[in-house]
Structure 1
Amino acid sequence: MARRKKIYEGKAKILYEGPEPGTLVQYFKDDATAFNAEKKAVIEGKGVLNNRLSEFFMTGLQSIGVPTHFIKRLNMREQLIRQVEIIPLEVIVRNFAAGSMAKRLGLEEGTPLPRPIIEFSYKDDKLGDPLVPEEYIIAFGWASQQDLDDIVPLALRVNDFLSGVMHGVGIKLVDFKIEIGRIWDNDYQRLVVADEISPDSCRLWDIESGQKLDKDVFRKDLGSLTDAYTEVARRLGVLPSNVTHRPRPTLIN
């Protein structure tokens, strides 16, 4: 495998220098983390599944006019993406009460919300990605008012698409989080969906049984994470024919 430069390594992915200016190669690891990386494990095949699933969702969004950083999948664990300036926020869209929202408000998990609710968290692992109001976002310059005015409808379009796709295969989209990146064309800015969309970043429950098919399986020790992600991929028709671990490429720093 060709030697290339590592640009960044996160909890679930590695970014490498791309073949052309303005591109990166995104490598999906098998690492699983929870509770701000306090709980860790290597789940064989997880990266392969998330690569395929994120490709499926990103190309689906592009087909309905939602811009993303995705260009193409390169192999079982890697995809070619546009290099973007990431806005340091997680954009969280909730359709049902679950996780931290259920705890904060004393709601039973699975309670339907009156409408999709959008929350923002500041991306900082050391702080635990705290929730922040729009006033903080604008005051600290993480995003402008115009950015937020554009992000909210973008997130709702993603929600409409994902909810419909999941409902069609018997899965309830409880909530999800996305990241947004900026692409610059001279002085013109365009916002795109970046990072990944996978069961790592969504809460997915079987509509009939309530079975969890997302990273809560790992967080709460509910069984095999690989089996849960494989079931999502199988229902969506994107199950890889051979889920195997692939060694990481040689790096130059």
Structure 2
Amino acid sequence: ELKVVFRNDMTAFNGVKHDQFENKGRFNATASEFFMRHLEERGVTTHFISRPDPDTMIVKRLEMVPLEVIVRNVAAGSMVKKYPVTEGTVLSPPVIGIDYKDDERGDPMINDDLIVALHILTPPELTAVKIVALQINEILSQFFDVCGIRLVDFKIEFGKADGKIILGDEISMDSMRLWDKKTGESFDKDVYRFEKGDVMTAYRRVLERIIPGFGG
């Protein structure tokens, strides 16, 4: 088992922007526990075991895969900068992108052939990762829809244990892009990135919508 402590630090633009916000760690731990439990109940295996403290999770030790898997339902963020697509364009079917986790190299995008050639994952493991990523997307998109929130995109990481592919890391407002379905208002880290308002208010509003009785 491992202990994961959620910090109050927030960074953007590869660490160029860096601040601390009271309650951020607690809010993200709350969200991560909620979503991991929600996914487990619907057949997705995660590393979550328990949450003994407001900002702490106990998780299963995994052999982490050095990849970030991004699932996009709507064009936004870096996708709009890199490709000829307008922000807000619905992507159907959802688009999976995979980045190689390496800070020094700037987390470059990586394709399936290279993932296999570098022995990061076998072809069956890579297929499993994509299937689970789309399953998670389906579950979370439906859930957020009921809460009046649009799941624009999200980033997840996987690990291996006993030969199985398991969801690791976190699922929180830090790792998702969320828009209000009616107004298009951001409820995620973009509020901080682009100074659209108070980011902790945005995070709290997500928790108030997804967790009945959440008092902040």
- Residues 238 and 31 from structure 1, CA distance in 2 versus in 1: closer, same or farther, beyond 3 angstroms? farther
**Mapped contact 1:96–1:174 kept (Cα < 8 A):** yes
- Superposed, which structure 2 residues align to 1:1-253 within 5 Å? 23-184=1-162, 189-237=163-211, 241=215
Residues 151 and 176 in structure 2, CA contact (< 8 A), matched pair in contact too: yes
List, as ranges, runs of 4+ consecutive aligned residues in structure 1 with deviation greater than 3 Å. 238-242
For residues 66-110 of structure 1, give each alpha carbon's deviation from its aligned partner in whole angstroms, at most 9, with x where no partner exists: 000001111111111000011000000000101111111132111
Matched pairs, number: 216
The structure where helix makes up a greater share of residues is: 2
What do you get for the CA RMSD once the two structures are aligned? 1.1
- Could you tell me how far apart the structure 2 residues matched to 1:48 and 1:240 are? 12
Distance of 1:29 and 1:59 partners within structure 2: 21
**How far, CA to CA, are the matches of 1:132 and 1:228 in structure 2?**
32
Q: Give the TM-score normalised by structure 2.
A: 0.97
> How far off its partner does 1:239 sit?
6.5
Q: Which residue of 2 aligns with 1:247?
A: none
* Distance in 1 (alpha carbons) for counterparts of 2:116 and 2:154: 23
Counterparts of 1:138 and 1:25, CA distance in 2: 31
Counterpart code for 2:155: K
Q: TM-score, normalised by structure 1?
A: 0.83
* C-alpha displacement of 1:148: 0.6
Are residues 82 and 238 of structure 1, via their aligned partners in 2, closer, same or farther at CA, if it must alter by over 3 Å? Answer: farther
Give the deviation of 1:142 after TM superposition.
Answer: 1.3
Query: Structure 2: how far apart are the matches of 1:152 and 1:49?
Result: 28
Say if 1:56 and 1:238, in contact at 8 Å, map to a contact too.
no
Task: Structure 2: give runs of 5+ residues left out of the alignment.
Answer: none
Unaligned runs of 5+ in 1: 1-22, 243-253
How far apart are residue 119 of structure 1 and its match? 0.8
Q: Is the 8 A contact 1:213 1:231 kept in 2?
A: yes
| Counterpart Cα distance in 2 of 1:52 and 1:161 | 18
Q: Which has the higher contact order (CA 8 A, sep 6+)?
A: 1
Larger Rg: 1
